[in-house]
Amino acid sequence: MSQDSGEKLVKLTIDGREVQARSGDTVLEVARQMGIEIPALCYHPVLGGAGACRVCMVEIVAWGRRRMVASCVYPAREGLEVYTNTQKVLTARRAVISMLLAKAPAAKAVQELAERYGVTEPAYEPKDPQGRCILCGQCVRTCNELIKAGAVYFTYRGQERKVGTPYDAESAQCIGCGACQNLCPTGNIRIRDKAECRAVLTWNTDLAWQMCSRCGQRYLPARLVEHLRKSLPAGAELLEVCPRCRREGTAEDFARASVTAEQSSKL
Amino acid sequence: MSTVATAKLASLEELEALRSSIRVEQQKTQTTVALCCGTGCQAYGSGRLIEVFAEALAKEGLEDSVRVRATGCHGFCERGPLVVIHPKGTFYQRVGPDDVGEIVAKTVKQGELIERLLYVDPQTKEKAQTEEQVGFYKHQHRLVFGNNGAIDPKSIRDYLAVGGYAGLAKALSELKPDELIEQITESGLRGRGGGGFLTGRKWRSCREAEGEPKYVLCNGDEGDPGAFMDRSIMEGNPHSVLEGMVIGAYAIGSNHGYIYVRAEYPLAVENLGIAIRQAEELGLLGEDILGTGFDFEIRINRGAGAFVCGESTALMASIEGKIGDPRAKYIHTTDVGLFGKPSNLNNVETWANVPLIVNRGAEWFSSMGTEKSKGTKVFSLVGKINNTGLVEVPMGVSLRDIIYKVGGGIPDGRKFKAVQIGGPSGGCIPESLLDTPVDFEQLTELGAMMGSGGLIVMDEDTCVVDIARYFMNFLCEEACGKCTPCREGTKIMLDILGRICQGKGEAEDMDKLEALGEQVQLTSLCGLGTSAANPVLSTLQYFREEYETHVKDKRCPAGVCRQLITFSVTPEACTSCAMCVKACPVEAISGGTRKGKGKDRVRVPALIDQDKCIKCRACHEACKFDAVVIS
Amino acid sequence: MPGEKSASVEEIDVSAARKIAAGHRAQGNSLVTVLQDVQTEYGYLSGEVLEAVAEEMEVPFSQAYGLATFYSSFSLQPRGKHHICVCMGTACHVRGAANILEKLERDLGISSGETSEDLKHSLESVNCLGACALGPVVVVNDAYHGKVSSRDVDKIVADLE
């Protein structure tokens, strides 16, 4: 068996419908392209799946064996049969959702899933009625793999596992980019923009603003500007000004340029 | 022992020449005192014995003609410290420093036996003079463990003297990688770490996988509580593991190896480290092995206290310096493993079997065992059993034979209740199924599994609900926390089991456990989760009544679950010795004294204040007259 | 048990940690290996030390902290002069290890996983030490005690000075 290149095409069936897919795609992605809805919380198109939340379980038949797999990480393969809606799948999905409902009762995405699948009771009395984190790890992957800031990570293990900064203290690595908030499926990450700083409340971190060198207004956390400067050295000077001034500045430059052009053509 | 400066061996002939010279030299020593220095015997003071022996021999002027050999574990930990005196093979047990002078004067010098140090069979009352005569050893078939008592694990010369690295020499000189894989496949060797996957097939997948470099890994993260066979192999015969790995690497086409050893096994790390250095010095490891042009290096990585790292993908994550989160194995690690490269992981015992198979052939190996489970298996036989220790038996032997013939049965006249096999992924097997042969399929069918081979024997004083709770607590502590069903499900099951043990169980709890257990099995990410419910499900299957007694009658028949038992003193049996009074940590016991003088002197029996009693069992243990009873 | 960031008032000299990390990094060894050796050097892993190691290994501090809290052999708090480890493996369990641990907790006045305030004792339970034949097993500063009874605990505690 060779490592999937993603280029090869394979034929498989999902809920009885035949489909052609790239072998590098996951069953979840193929199903979604076909309009078959499989719930998934730890999957994001940019990051892929983590196989962690387990609500995307489906039944497959491969090499003559029928079993349950997590569709967000299971690769499309030639001849694969996938069943996304069997009684077994629904029972398993409900069991997992009821556990998530106990872990994160305040998470809207979990509440919606519970409603859709008719789960009325959490699997146990929730310890934190305000809990929103399901430990899917999307913030960790975003911060480490996409942004490469490395501010948050998993801490402890098992029951004690959390996501957070070391000692839950203010992070020197968080750049306040807010990407984790964008990708979090359960709305667990809270960020508040105040006059003096951007407060990333979930990570206990306050970030001072960068002031626009032109208009003097705050526009981005200074650390984020610094991070961008390092990763985009070419346009570094553009980062000195806020987006509005940048637009205005470009417009002015443009106007100035056209005036100059007009003048030179008159000569 | 003389340490002849040894240069790298440049050919197979040089290896054989060295072997002959070592044998000639070792034959000069007539007598050898082999002293077990496994962890068990060391805890009983065998380390001190080495010094005492050396002194005693020096005093007699025998230091040059008698060799004291500190060996690895002989397996019979129950009777340590163990001493075997060769060439006769005289076997002494429970040897203390005070016995040494006499051993040297009588046995070493004159070949006389010292009766009191011999092992007496508890049933037949016969005395055994050699290991072979001891019931514990007689019914075993020791292959992987065969050399543990014969070599000093810190000496590659000892390993060479017993034929070490001959398998490697044979593999490199006579067999092409494909033929080697064929031989291992034909032998029927299956992974000894628990999964039971066919070793040869795994090797082939890895050999045929695309990608470079390839890695060959050894799983020495023996995490199952109650299992210590891998520890004893790594500590007692580290070269056998290395030799197996080099052979495997040659077959697979790998130049880089890792051994992942538990943090709790410092002696294994030390001995493996020494073995690697020695093998490198002799050119049996490293570049251009035995002048054949084949290169293979091995590094040791220490675990850091995480049971889940025994799982292959978590183990690889840990070697990469990450937290031990497993990942889905829908793409096998033989294709995408360590550092994203094709990797072949086998367990310690599996690797140690490899040189034996190459030396003696696939047919020899597959002649032992059952249809689908070949060779031998090492079990650690522990718990409520007379002969605690490590036993190696051919596959297919019945559990009853292991427990009664090798293990000598249950101590103190208690009744056998169950044997737990396969650790936290395994299950409890009742008396009625003891004739089951040990075999991968048979055990799985019973709801247990081979696992790494821990056999924990339980008697009537063990509560199976408590055992189920124990394993669930273990798994809860050791779960990585990545996937929902394992993280949350094990906790829910633990809470229910805890409730039952406290007498707060409800009638539907058993059904709840079964339903939840099934979902955790179906939906968890890795083997830890998918097998986490086994200890609960198997005890529910075979011991449901005991659960019901806890739930309905609020009673623990084994007298273990604290909230369900009381301690009291039988006045008639109490001698008022006050041992219990002294033992009680919370001053809950009054009486236990004598009052008055002369004729009027009366005994006041001990009395336990139930409100103060914390049920710590201290009084029960302290009482020599069985007057403190549990009800 | 996430403690305070700095476990002691004194400044901790992190140069040894940096040296260990640099050495391992040159050999391509992993962060787990580095933290093991650093813990051997310092007795535990303080925030300052973790931060220094992370910097030297060029990994985020958060990852080093994640590792230090994931693996149970790492300690974020200083251990006692006498470190007592009680095996909770199955073989020890069926022979009453839980009672032994409880007695030690009572006698030492600390819970499992804690260090006494005077830094004299620390107590820890381990999920199997692989010395099952000796159960219940208690390890005091690397010395194994086998078949421990409540009475043996008295002796073990008395010998701790």
A165 to chain C, closest Cα gap in Å: 6
Q: Which residue in chain C is spatially nearest to B230 when comparing CA positions? A: C130
pLDDT in tens, A18-64: 999 998 899 999 999 999 999 999 999 999 999 999 999 999 999 89
B346 to chain C, closest Cα gap in Å: 20
Region of residue A167 (left: phi > 0; alpha: psi -120 to 50; beta: else): left
Distance from chain centroid for Cα B133 = 23
Whether residue B481 and residue A95 make contact (CB cut-off 8 A), yes or no, is: no
pLDDT in tens, B89-147: 999 999 999 999 999 999 999 999 999 999 998 888 899 999 999 999 999 999 999 99
Neighbouring chains of B at 3+ CB pairs under 8 Å are: A, C
The band of B591, judged by pLDDT with boundaries at 50, 70 and 90, is: confident
- Residue A158 at interface with chain C, using a CB cutoff of 8 Å: no
A171 to chain C, closest Cα gap in Å: 9
Q: Do β-strands B215-220 and B127-128 pair in parallel, antiparallel, or remain unpaired? A: unpaired
Region of residue B426 (left: phi > 0; alpha: psi -120 to 50; beta: else): beta
Domains and CATH numbers, chain C: 15-70 (no CATH), 82-158 (3.40.30.10)
- Residue A156 at interface with chain C, using a CB cutoff of 8 Å: yes
- Chain C residues within 8 A of B467 when measuring between CB atoms: 90, 93-94
ipTM over 0.95: no
- Chain B residues within 8 A of A74 when measuring between CB atoms: 328, 330
Domains and CATH numbers, chain A: 1-132 (3.10.20.740), 138-248 (no CATH)
Contact indicator for A146, A47 with CB cutoff of 8 Å: yes
Stretch (H or E) spanning B120: strand B119-120
Nearest beta carbon to residue C133 from set B78, B477, B621: B78
B595 has pLDDT over 90:
no
Contact indicator for B40, C146 with CB cutoff of 8 Å: yes
Find the distance separating the first CA and the last CA of chain C, reported in whole Å.
27
Looking at residues B378-395, what average pLDDT do you find?
Answer: 94
The band of B176, judged by pLDDT with boundaries at 50, 70 and 90, is: very high
Contact indicator for C74, C68 with CB cutoff of 8 Å: yes
What does the H/E/C string look like for chain C? Answer: CCCCCCCCCCCCCCHHHHHHHHHHHHCCCCHHHHHHHHHHHHCCCCHHHHHHHHHHHCCCHHHHHHHHHHCCCCCCCCCCCEEEEEECCHHHHHCCHHHHHHHHHHHHCCCCCCECCCCCEEEEEECCCCCHHHCCCEEECCEEECCCCHHHHHHHHHCCC
Nearest beta carbon to residue A2 from set B210, B477, B482: B210
The strand pairing partners of B256, in sequence order, are B215, B297
B363 to chain A, closest Cα gap in Å: 30
Kindly report each contact of residues A193-196 with a partner whose C-beta sits within 8 Å and lies 24 or more positions away, as own/partner: none
- Chain C residues within 8 A of B42 when measuring between CB atoms: 144
The C-alpha R_g of chain B, in whole angstroms, comes to 27
User: Domain spanning B163-366 has what CATH number?
Assistant: 3.40.50.11540
B463 has pLDDT over 70:
yes
Structure letter (DSSP) for residue B436: P
> Which residue out of B470, B476, B482 would a mutagenesis test of the C interface target, given it has the greatest number of C Cβ atoms within 10 Å?
B470
Q: How is chain B split into domains, by residue range? A: 12-133, 163-366, 376-459, 464-552, 566-630
Contact indicator for B38, B29 with CB cutoff of 8 Å: no
- Chain B residues within 8 A of C73 when measuring between CB atoms: 263, 303-305
DSSP letters of B271-297? HHHHHHHHHHHTTSSBSSGGGSS--BE
Whether residue A157 and residue C70 make contact (CB cut-off 8 A), yes or no, is: yes
Contact indicator for A245, A214 with CB cutoff of 8 Å: yes
Q: Work out the burial of residue A254: count CB atoms within 10 Å of its CB; fewer than 13 is exposed, 13-18 middle, 19 or more buried.
A: exposed
Q: Whole-number mean pLDDT of chain A?
A: 91
Alpha-carbon span B522 to B59, nearest angstrom: 67
Whether residue B484 and residue A134 make contact (CB cut-off 8 A), yes or no, is: yes
Whether residue C65 and residue A166 make contact (CB cut-off 8 A), yes or no, is: yes
- Residue A6 at interface with chain B, using a CB cutoff of 8 Å: no
Whether residue B322 and residue C129 make contact (CB cut-off 8 A), yes or no, is: no
Please report the pLDDT score of residue A265 as a whole number: 62
- Chain C residues within 8 A of B40 when measuring between CB atoms: 131, 133-134, 146
pLDDT in tens, A164-191: 999 999 999 999 999 999 999 999 999 9
Residues 6+ apart with CB under 8 A from C155: none
> Hey, what CATH topology would domain B376-459 get?
Ubiquitin-like (UB roll) (3.10.20)
Please give the class, per CATH, of domain B566-630: alpha beta
Superfamily of domain B12-133: Glutaredoxin (3.40.30.10)
C74 to chain A, closest Cα gap in Å: 11
Query: The CATH number of B464-552 is which of 3.30.365.10, 3.30.70.100, 3.50.50.60, 1.20.1440.230?
Result: 1.20.1440.230
Residues 6+ apart with CB under 8 A from B84: B33, B34, B36, B74, B90, B91, B92, B130, B131, B149
Whether residue B44 and residue C30 make contact (CB cut-off 8 A), yes or no, is: no
- Residue A245 at interface with chain C, using a CB cutoff of 8 Å: no
